[in-house]
Amino acid sequence: MSTVTIDTDRPSIPLSRLVKVELRKMFDTRSGFWLMMSIAIVALLATIGCILFVPNEDLEFGVFGQAVGFPMVLLLPVIAILSVTSEWSQRTGLITFTLAPHRGQVVAAKAITAVIVGVAGMVVAFAIGGLGNIVGSAINGVDPVWNISFLDFVLIVLANVLGLLVGFMLGVLIRNTPGAIVAYVAYSFLLPTIFGILAAFQDWFKDLQPWIDFGYSQTPLFDGGPSGEEWAQLGTSGLIWLVIPLTVGVWAVLRSEVK
């Protein structure tokens, strides 16, 4: 009987290579390419809308930042969801995990890729908004107002990355595109409404809300920066709504049968 020798010293696939592959997978299909392009297209449309409809006295970079930032709240989590669920909805997971059997490394590469795309998308969107601020001010004959500092920009990007990671978490946890998108919509709109009603009518919940409502605890990121207590609230609510569910989802991916 012949003996089969297995080379156990062969190095695993570098994480950087997997990140490059995942980045390419985001752009190498027509739908993926236009989904990425939608970030710039929506930012451009929002910027044009501000130039056309915002009064001269209110025309400032903060207005453009809000206009281009709001669509990102919806687009970026969807991009993160699709980066994960496409492996199951398009039945490519078996190929992916055969070529790269370390599933945890693949999930990490997908998370890094989603964050890279999210940060790059925010930079592009704000660059378009900044250009719109210059053009709009010139057209209306007013001086451009730059009322968003670099720290404000970093905090806004951080808030959007956290939202993106929530979408990524739901993609890992549910592994179904429609289900994950519906869950994100419920998380973004239904859950804050429930928490808001509880805080309005239940005094005991009003002080508790910042510690368990992840969306609410992110609000200071848009208002000049959290205090020490607010950072603690963000970390605690993030542990409940992001870290623990993501851990469960990754555990399920590592143990589930891929078909």
Position of tokens 């070529």? 99
The pLDDT of residue 33: 79
- Residue 88 CA: distances (Å) to CA of 65, 119, 253: 35, 26, 11
pTM of the model: 0.88
CA–CA distance, 111 with 46 (Å, rounded to integer) = 28
Which two three-digit tokens encode residue 2? 């012949």
Phi, psi of 110 (to 5 degrees): -65, -40
Which two three-digit tokens encode residue 17? 């290579």
* Helix (H), strand (E), coil (C) string for 17-63: HHHHHHHHHHHCCHHHHHHHHHHHHHHHHHHHHHHHHCCHHHCCHHH
CA–CA distance, 80 with 107 (Å, rounded to integer) = 11
Position of tokens 């709109």? 189
Position of tokens 């704000």? 126
Residues 43/129, Cβ–Cβ less than 8 Å:
yes
**Residues of the chain where predicted confidence (pLDDT) is lower than 70:** 1-11, 90, 93-94, 259
Element (H, E) at 111: helix 103-140
The pLDDT of residue 15: 86
The pLDDT of residue 245: 95
DSSP string over 169-196:
HHHHHH--HHHHHHHHHIIIIIHHHHHH
